[in-house]
Amino acid sequence: MSVAKVLTGKEEVTQETWLQTFTNKFSNFLHRFLPEPFVFAILLTFIIFVMGITIEHKSVGEMAGYWSEGFWNLLSFTMQMVMMVVTGYALAQSAPIRRLLNGIAGRVKTVRGAIVTATLVGLVASYLNWGFGLIVGTLMAQQLAKQVRGTHYPVLVSSAYVGWILYGIGISATIPLTIATPGNPFEASMGLIPLANTIFQPGVLIALVILAITLPLVNILIHPRASNVQEIKHHDFSEERLVPAKGEDQTPAQKLEHSKVLALLVVLFGVAYLYHHFVVKQGSLDINSVNSIFLFLGILFHGSLKNYILAINDSVKTAGGMVLQFPFYAGIMGMMAGSGIVVTISDWFVSFSNAQTLHFWGFISSFFINFFVPSSGGHWAVQGPFMVEAAKTLGADLGKMSTAVQMGSSWNDLVNPFWLLPVIALSKLSARQIMTYTLIPFLYMGIVFGITVLIW
């Protein structure tokens, strides 16, 4: 274990025994019964295959054909999702970002201040880019744990992760960005939906403000009593930096790799791309423009191409699940569309919904689907087809429906350990140590998100 128990009399915030017992049992349940997401993708593939045969009366050959035709249909989308996470991760590891986090941590003096700071930094960074926020929040929690004695380290990491969940209504939210991007897999069925009709709706912005104000308070309330505080061990975390090679022994190749001038020239190409996209073409914020901003900003902050290559090599590890799972999601999507399952499920939703309530049922069903498909991109590939069909049949707002699905997906991440993997690696904590403190914020956020969807 990379944390140690200490006692402190400062800012004691009590935590009832029943709460610890309840959350521990819940995290134990997830640990025992929740397999790897890739296993879920395989199981879901078989389920849809059997449904096509038994419900839609398709032959084995037909279902195999639908699966084969769809299997590689999301390659472009997969790459966009991978770039989203790796460019955000790489930027978070840059020296300027680390210096900024150290400076913020140095100004915090109290336990409550540390919890508030960890939550808000995770929230703001994740609003900009979910890959960036996931890492920055964890790094912020580490720095605060080192600076503020008497703070329970798992609560700080959990607080940052709770703030990260608001990526679902941020400018890098996968589903809203996807349906706003030209050429996306759903453009033919629903057209392009601008962000003004999704994450920038007044109701969503109000929910964002409410959660930004109240989530830090919720995290403060679940901080354990002083006798149960676990502090960070400083020596467990190295302060690695990517340092350019220096000296007379540099080869011409090394000089190019570490050249600041060459890095700046690449950044200028990035500026030209963004100018062309936003000014010349009058384009809007979409997946490609967000990825471009984080890509070129990362090169600028790392200072050389070699440094950025090393950061990307490290960050690519976090995208392995996407690379492996997305072809199977595409195959599922192909079977659902080709066999008619999309229409069947859509008709089922239409049978008990109307234009006003479809958003809420999309939100609830999205929560459960996220256990099986915990990546928003793959999630949308599975749920999107029948939700779009149902919305068109009922005349429901496509933007609100899509946003509700995204909110249900991100809400589920608080009790789904899939996206905790990079956090666990950085924090050196276990999933159980972190998720013990995400359950209460999960219940609270579900109320806020649910009310937001209902009042639409």
Q: What is the pLDDT of residues 72-98, one digit of tens each?
A: 988 887 888 788 878 988 998 899 998
Question: Is the dihedral angle over the CA atoms 384, 418, 222, 122 positive or is it negative?
Answer: negative
| DSSP single-letter state for residue 415 | G
Q: Please give the C-alpha separations between residue 366 and each of 30, 216, 380, 381, 410, in angstroms, as whole numbers.
A: 18, 26, 9, 12, 9
Euclidean distance between CA atoms 5 and 422, whole angstroms = 24
- Residue 251, SS3 per DSSP: coil
Task: Give strand pairing partners of 4.
Answer: 231
Task: Return the pLDDT at 227.
Answer: 61
Q: Average pLDDT, stretch 97-101?
A: 92
Mean pLDDT, the chain, as a whole number? 86
pLDDT given for residue 244 in this prediction = 47
Q: Report whether pLDDT(432) > 80.
A: no
Chain centroid to CA 256: how far? 35
Tokens encoding 335:
């079977």
Model confidence at 63: pLDDT above 90: yes
Query: 376 or 246, which is more confident?
Result: 376
Q: Tell me, what's the pLDDT at 236?
A: 52
| Tokens read off for 455 | 């009042």
First to last CA, the chain: 46
The number of angstroms, rounded, from the C-alpha of 418 to the middle of its chain's C-alpha atoms is 10
Cα separation, 42 vs 48, whole angstroms: 10
* Confidence class for position 378, pLDDT limits 50, 70, 90: confident
pLDDT, residue 30, reads 63
Are 145 and 101 in contact by the 8 Å Cβ rule? The answer is no
Q: What are phi and psi of 248, to 5 degrees?
A: -75, -15
Which tokens is 304 given? 């050389």
1 three-state secondary structure: coil
pLDDT higher at 124 or 230: 124
Confidence (pLDDT) at 1: 41
Instruction: State the Cα–Cα distance between residues 103 and 107, nearest whole angstrom.
Output: 7
pLDDT top residue among 3 and 328: 328
Give the distance from CA 5 to its chain's centroid.
31
* pLDDT > 70? residue 64: yes
Tell me the C-alpha distance between 131 and 138, whole Å. Answer: 12
Residue 187 φ/ψ, nearest 5 degrees: -60, -40
Q: 390 and 341 in contact (C-beta within 8 Å)?
A: no
Q: Report the C-alpha gap between 46 and 52 in whole angstroms.
A: 10
Band (12; pLDDT cuts 50, 70, 90): very low
pTM: 0.76
Per-residue confidence (pLDDT) for residue 23, from 0 to 100? 61
Q: Where are the alpha helices (DSSP H) in 184-319?
A: 187-190, 202-221, 252-257, 260-275, 287-302, 305-315
Contact 324, 38 (CB under 8 A): yes
**Residue 314: half-sphere exposure toward Cβ, Cα within 13 Å:** 20
Look up tokens 């090169």; give the residue.
299
Strand partners, 5: 230
What distance in Å separates the CA atoms of residue 85 and residue 378, rounded to the nearest whole number?
14
CA distance 77 to 379: 13
The model's pLDDT over 35-53, given as tens digits with 9 standing for 90+, comes to 776 887 898 899 999 999 9
Distance CA 335, CA 332 (A): 5
* Identity of residue 258: H
Q: Are strands 3-5 and 230-232 parallel, antiparallel or unpaired?
A: antiparallel
Percentage of the chain modeled with pLDDT above 70: 88
Which are the contacts of 452, defined by CB distance < 8 A and separation ≥ 6?
203, 204, 206, 207, 407
SS3 92: helix
- Reference 432, options 444, 443, 420; nearest CA is 420
Of 186 and 377, the structure prediction assigns the larger pLDDT to 186
